Structures are given as C-alpha cells and as structure tokens.
Amino acid sequence: MPFTPFHMGPALVVKAAIPRYFNIPVFAFTQVAIDSEVLVGLAFRGDLTYHVVLHTLAGGTLVAVVAVLLLRPFIQPGARLWNYLIAAKPGSFLHLEPRVPLLAAIISGLAGGWSHVLLDAATHSHIAPFAPLVGGNPLFGLLSPQQAIALCLLLWAIGGGWILTLSYRRRRYARHP
Ligand SMILES: [Zn+2]
C-alpha cells in the first residue's frame, strides 16, 4: 500500500461493527509503526521498498505486542490529549475512548498488524509475509494496487458513514431519550 492512511478503511468498518472490542488509536499505531520501516529504508537506501522485518506476520505480531504494552503509557494519554485539544465530547464522532479494555487492545493490535501485512503482500511482490518460516509471497497478485486502493477507499466511506450515523443516533437519543 503506498500510503499508510489507506489501511484505516477496513478499521473503520470493524469499529462500526464491534465498537466495544475495537480501538482505532491502537490500530492506527500499528499502521504507522509498521510503515516506519519503509521510512528507515528510505533514509538508508534511498527507496521505498524496505518491507523486510515488520512487513511479515511475525513482525506485525511483534508490533501488536508493542502496541498493547504502550497502551497505558502512550496510546491512552495520547487519546485523552486529542479529546482535550479538539474538545471532543463523549459519543461524538471524533471522541476517542480514554480507557481501552485489554481485549480490545489485543484485537485491534493483531488486526492492525496482520491486515497491514496481508494488504501490502497482495500488492508488493518483494514482501515475504510468512518469513522467516517460509520465503516467497503466495499472496502477491490477489489484488492489483488500484483494486487495493479502491477497496480501502470504499471501506473508508462505508465505515466512516456507519460511525457517523451511529454517533448521530447516540447524540439524538441523549437529547430525546
Ligand atoms: Zn506497509
């Protein structure tokens, strides 16, 4: 995937479907963390093709573990700061949960780590998603880059619209129970 934010499309749909068991900041952390290895490759090799360690299912699992470990010292305080800075009210579209259940963090971390690797592997021939156990990339070609981008944008629209609708209904119910 050429651009990290595209990976958020599937996350918005899952968030809308199972809001209590899914946390967007944890998922977002995994997306940025995994693509940070591409930036390291850019700095040291001058290209955007370094997908070696974190762009594997093992690497994605490692990033998920780090995300869960950083939940209390980094991700939750970050969510609270975000809510404060934009004055987000609980129940509103942009409000982030200040406390995340451990199960939701684990689900979101693993979903983020694995979905990122699988999506990227479908569109990048040089990624070896099952390394170090198995080399090669049996997933390459499942989606063309254009199909992957179109799918992510479609899921962005579906998930975003779904969450907006739920938030609108919640706020309307709060005003007129
Ligand atoms: Zn990536």
Question: pLDDT, tens digit, for every residue of 20-42?
Answer: 999 999 999 999 999 999 999 99
The Å distance, Cα 163 to ligand 1 centre, comes to: 25
The Å distance, Cα 1 to ligand 1 centre, comes to: 6
Give the pLDDT confidence score for residue 36 in this predicted structure: 94
Residue of 107, 109, 19, 99 whose CA lies nearest to 59? 109
pLDDT at residue 121 above 80?
Answer: yes
Continuous segment of H or E residues that includes residue 108:
helix 102-123
CB 163 within 8 A of CB 16: yes
- Cα four-point dihedral sign 18, 24, 25, 28: positive
If pLDDT is split at 50, 70 and 90, which confidence band does 2 have? very low
The Å distance, Cα 140 to ligand 1 centre, comes to: 14
The Å distance, Cα 101 to ligand 1 centre, comes to: 27
What's CA 13's distance to the chain center, in Å?
Answer: 11
Q: Where are the beta strands (DSSP E) in the chain?
A: none
Give the pLDDT confidence score for residue 175 in this predicted structure: 76
pLDDT at residue 117 above 70?
Answer: yes
The Å distance, Cα 58 to ligand 1 centre, comes to: 14
Q: 177 Cβ partners below 8 Å, 6+ apart?
A: none
Give the pLDDT confidence score for residue 3 in this predicted structure: 63
The Å distance, Cα 34 to ligand 1 centre, comes to: 6
